[in-house]
A and B are shown apart, each in its own frame.
Chain A
Amino acid sequence: MKRIAVITTVYRYLSHAQHITDRFLVGYPLNGKWRRPDMKVVSLYVDQKPTGDQSAERAREFGFQVYPSIAEALRCGGDRLAVDAVLIIGEHGDYPRNEKGQVLYPRHDFFRQCVEVFEKDGRAVPVYNDKHLSYSFEKARWMVDSAKRLKFPLLAGSSLPVTWRLPDLELPLNCQIESALMVGVGGSDAMDYHALEAMQSMIERRKGGETGVKAVQMIEGEAVWKAGWSEELLASALSRSDSPQGWTITDGRTQDLVGNRELPKLVKNPAAYFIEHRDGLRTTLLMLNGAVKDFTFAARVKGLRGIQSTQFFLSPVPNVTYSACLVSKIEEMFETGRAPYPAERTLLVSGVLESCLTSRIQNHQRLETPHLAVRYRPPAQSQYCRA
């Protein structure tokens, strides 16, 4: 039975640590069955214990130890690495923000401490890192490079790429994408990350795979409405939304949010993230708080009729069954020793987000991003929930 160490910022109800770790403790729904992973959480490190902390309670009930340091958690109090896999969940908790508005979650720091143990003890094990690798591309790069150097599998990212899609849309492998647009909601740098990653999981399937990003620009406010994104793609993405605001809230009516020109009234502070890929593909993320409450995507694909669009289904709280889709991927890596999709996706998205937020504080200028020449190939097989 695989032994798991959990390294986390906080462990309280509805935190990512609780969602993800609990599924290893009590199981989760998968393909119409309650799956109980043949794995055991044996140790936990938790950085902060705010009111509502569940770490001690979980440790007592499920028979594992909470250790005061990451190294001790990985060694289970002994002198050598004593686990077969590590979950790093550095989301939630009280951490400062930098000038770009990024929360300085200590994911890189947690990861570095794991790597130190791996190096000292001469053995490395699979690591899952929740959400983006780090607020800093440089640190994120180091994380991916370390995993390569020490030859341990690394999986990262959020649930968006693996959740249900409405409709069940996957772009054909090696398709030629002419343009793509994503609509997201929520705050930065938590929710824009989700939106960028969802879009990346779609467009990485294009011909030639991912080649990296050469420039980004983020703009905000009125300028967004006059910028050069495709109205057609936006209309298609929004046609997939189940949560238009404004008139729908008032009287329940359906809306063509692009056609009825309501968007500028509904969205007080729109934001557009423009991404120029090295192979020429240009994509846009529009963060439209006030217009909708879900995440939708649209793309034009050469040879396919019409616009391809879908909604990334974020199923209701508290079950958030989409995180079960994610845990099944983590479990798969722990079991097989192979990451079902490359951490380079998360690396690139981490860097794109960081650069967009840099653009934001640098007068919304377009920034060249030679450092984001991240190349990778997507898995041929679809990885999201569809069975």
Chain B
Amino acid sequence: MSISRRDWLAGAGAAPVLLRGLERPARPKIAAITTTYFKYSHAQHIVDRFLEGYGWNGTHHRPEMDLVSLFVDQVGSNDFSRDRATRFPSMKIYPTIAEALTLGGSKLAVDGVVLVGEHGKYPRNEKGQTRYPRYEFFQQIVAVFRSSGRAAPVFNDKHLSWNWDWAKEMYDTARSLGFAFMAGSSLPVTWRTPSVEMPLGARIREAVSVCYGGVDSYDFHGLETIQCMVERRRGGESGVKWLEAYRGDRFWQAWQEGVFPRDLVEAALCRSHTLTPSRAGFNNNFPSPEDMRRLAKNPVAYLYQHTDGLRCVMLLMNGLVQDFNFAARLEGRAEPFSTQMYLPMPPARTSLANFFSPLVNNIEKMFLTGKPSYPVERTLLTTGLTAAGVESLYRNQVRVETPHLAVQYQPTRESTFWRT
């Protein structure tokens, strides 16, 4: 970084007031910067909710802001962004990120930016990471902030970047320029069955999530599932010291040796609504260890230890479950604390991915208040954990020391998940 917050403030003259977001118009103008916009893409889920409104608190809620500009990097034959622009003339599509932010002028002309860099055809690197251009988009957004002498709150969908250094730079840039920055997935904010919150200040000994999906994609969701809970422990978040990934035979060996706390895994599985029956003719039975081994195809685990000693395991058990379940051992509590972060996932179960509703609602709150609804440090940490998991897998499942993940933060006191 070449510019410090002080330089920025000094150089921007009267800007600090604006930077703090104190002067906002009655209806903020929002820009959406996206990779691609097709049915059930993240951009469609998120941008549509600004345009069309969505069910919230028992009403069809319409955000008190206008999404006025849209950038779409890849427009395929399945694109819906053009359809949306036709149906919502108040939203214009711009050919560049800068133009979307300036509304075709020379200075920043929006009051908030939504960055959705998920889906689209982007190359994979040798570690299997999809090089979604979130960092590149972010840089272009920040370039407009800089040239305009004014910044606006930014929401970044999912992890900050596949590349830790870039993610850290995004975080540092937001801090140094002093704009509100929020990120992450729907997992921390969706419904829970049951609808329970980790008690603030709980003494957590161990935590697990049992999830499904792929590496460098749903592993991030599984990590967010854990992190939104364990950050509420006594002392708050202290960062992570190391991470070790397990896959294939090594996974099962660790499983057998009890490396992953089996009672917590069992508690998490007992929160699943999609536990694969291990026997034909039964609709919901608990799998034996042999059943699990047969059903879970190429499972992956990220075992990691926090600086304060807390140990967590994120398990991807494709073939065994198709949902996100959490369990933790708390001091002073005989039974594990467990729940499911419930995703009403289309098209099999629903037609709407309504877990995007609480996410958009929290984004709206940030745009209205100028303050993130929850700390971006959570996503910074889970971004780093995802990258560390990929790295460990790439390097034959070695333990990866993570001194760079000494990310410390305090959670919000208030719950931010969907419960109303």
A residues neighboring B (CB under 8 Å): 13-14, 18-19, 22-23, 26-34, 54, 57, 164, 166-168, 235-236, 238-245, 248-249, 251-256, 258-259, 293-294, 298, 306-309, 313, 315-321, 324, 385-387
Given the known A-B contacts A29-B271, A254-B49, A293-B351, are A319 and B283 also in contact in the complex, defined by CB atoms under 8 Å? yes
Contacting A at CB under 8 A, from B303-346, are 327, 335-339, 342, 344, 346
Given known pairs A33-B335, A168-B194, A235-B60, the reply for A243 and B267 (CB within 8 Å) is no
CA distance in complex: A92, B277 (Å)? 22
- Contact across chains for A316 and B283 when beta carbons are under 8 A apart: no
Task: Enumerate chain B residues within 8 angstroms of A318, measured Cβ to Cβ.
Answer: 277, 283-284
How far is A307 from B58 in the complex, measured between Cα atoms in Å?
A: 7
Check: B352 CB closer than 8 A to any chain A CB.
yes
Q: Check: B273 CB closer than 8 A to any chain A CB.
A: yes
Partner of B270, one of A13, A34, A252: A34
Minimum CB distance partner of A233 in chain B: B58
B281 at the interface (CB under 8 A from A): yes
Of B38-46, B126-134, B198-206, B377-385, the stretch lying at the interface with chain A is B38-46
CB distance from A19 to the nearest CB of B (A): 6
* Least Cβ–Cβ distance between A30 and chain B, in angstroms: 8
A319 and B284 within 8 A (CB): yes
Q: Are B39 and A167 in contact (CB under 8 A)?
A: no
Measured CA separation A34–B55 after assembly (Å): 34
**Residues in B whose Cβ lies below 8 Å from that of A18:** 281, 283
Report the minimal beta-carbon distance from A177 to chain B, rounded to whole angstroms: 15
Q: A164-B194, A298-B58, A316-B273 are in contact. Are A34 and B286 (CB under 8 A)?
A: yes
- Which residue from chain A places its CB closest to the CB of B39 in the assembled complex? A252
Contacts of B83 in A (CB 8 A): 251
B283 near A14: Cβ-Cβ < 8 Å: yes
In the bound complex, residues from chain B placing their C-beta under 8 Å from that of A54 are 281
Question: How many Å lie between the Cα of A35 and that of B161 in the bound state?
Answer: 42
Contact yes or no, B80 A167, CB < 8 A:
no
Q: Find B283's partner among A22, A294, A307 (CB 8 Å cutoff).
A: A22
Instruction: State how many angstroms separate the Cβ of B280 from the closest Cβ of chain A.
Output: 8
What are the residues of chain A within 8 A of B420 when measuring CB–CB? 167
What are the nearest 9 A-B pairs in CB distance? A239-B55, A32-B338, A256-B60, A242-B350, A309-B58, A318-B283, A315-B273, A252-B39, A242-B344
Give min CB distance, A316 to chain B, whole Å: 5
Nearest CB on A from B286, distance (A)? 5
A to B CB contacts below 8 Å, 21 in the list: A14-B283, A22-B285, A27-B286, A29-B286, A31-B335, A34-B266, A167-B195, A167-B418, A168-B419, A242-B344, A242-B354, A248-B352, A252-B39, A252-B80, A253-B48, A254-B49, A293-B351, A294-B350, A318-B283, A318-B284, A319-B284
Contacts of B335 in A (CB 8 A): 31-33
Given A34-B266, A319-B273, does the pair A26, B59 have CB atoms closer than 8 Å?
A: no
Using known A-B contacts A251-B80, A254-B54, determine if residue A33 contacts B267 with beta carbons closer than 8 Å. Answer: yes
Whether A316 and B348, one on each chain, are in contact in the complex, defined by CB atoms closer than 8 angstroms, is: yes
Q: A242-B349, A254-B49 are in contact. List 10 more A-B contacts (CB 8 A).
A: A29-B269, A33-B270, A239-B59, A243-B351, A251-B80, A253-B48, A254-B352, A317-B283, A318-B277, A319-B275
Report A-chain residues with C-beta under 8 Å of the C-beta of B194: 164, 168, 385-387
Q: Which residues of B contact A386 (CB under 8 A)?
A: 194-195
Contacts of A249 in B (CB 8 A): 351
How far does the Cβ of A141 sit from chain B's closest Cβ, in whole Å? 34
Shortest A123–chain B CB gap in Å is: 33
Query: Which of A29, A33, A167, A168 meets B284, CB within 8 Å?
Result: A29
Q: Which residues of A contact B418 (CB under 8 A)?
A: 167
Which A residues are CB-close (under 8 A) to B57?
306
A254-B53 CB under 8 A given contacts A22-B283, A32-B271, A242-B351 = yes
Which B residues are CB-close (under 8 A) to A245? 351
Kindly list chain B residues whose C-beta atoms are within 8 Å of the C-beta of A309: 58
Query: Shortest CB–CB separation between residue B390 and chain A, in angstroms?
Result: 30
Chain B: CB-nearest residue to A18: B283
Residues of A within 8 A of B269 (CB): 29
Given A248-B351, A256-B53: A236 in contact with B59 (beta carbons within 8 A): yes
| Contact indicator B283/A253 (Cβ below 8 Å) | no
Evaluate whether A13 and B283 lie within 8 angstroms (CB atoms) in the complex, with A32-B338, A254-B55, A307-B59 already known.
yes
Task: Tell me the smallest distance from the CB of A182 to a CB of chain B, in Å.
Answer: 14
Give Cα A248–Cα B282 distance, bound, in whole angstroms: 33
User: How many Å lie between the Cα of A258 and that of B58 in the bound state?
Assistant: 13
CA distance A40 to B67 in the complex (A): 61
Interface residues in B47-69 by Cβ distance below 8 A to A read 48-49, 52-61
Give, as a whole number of angstroms, the nearest-CB distance from A300 to chain B: 11
A49 to chain B, nearest CB (A): 15
* A255 / chain B contacts, CB cutoff of 8 Å: 52
Q: Known contacts being A32-B335, A319-B283, is A252 close to B44, with CB within 8 Å?
A: yes
CA distance A33 to B273 in the complex (A): 13
Whole-angstrom CA separation of A387 from B344 in the bound complex: 20
| A164→B269 CA distance, assembly (Å) | 17
The winner among B58, B194, B338, B344 for most chain A CB atoms within 10 A is B58
CB distance from B417 to the nearest CB of A (A): 11
A240-B350 in contact given A252-B39, A256-B60 (Cβ < 8 Å): no
B215 nearest CB across to chain A (Å): 25
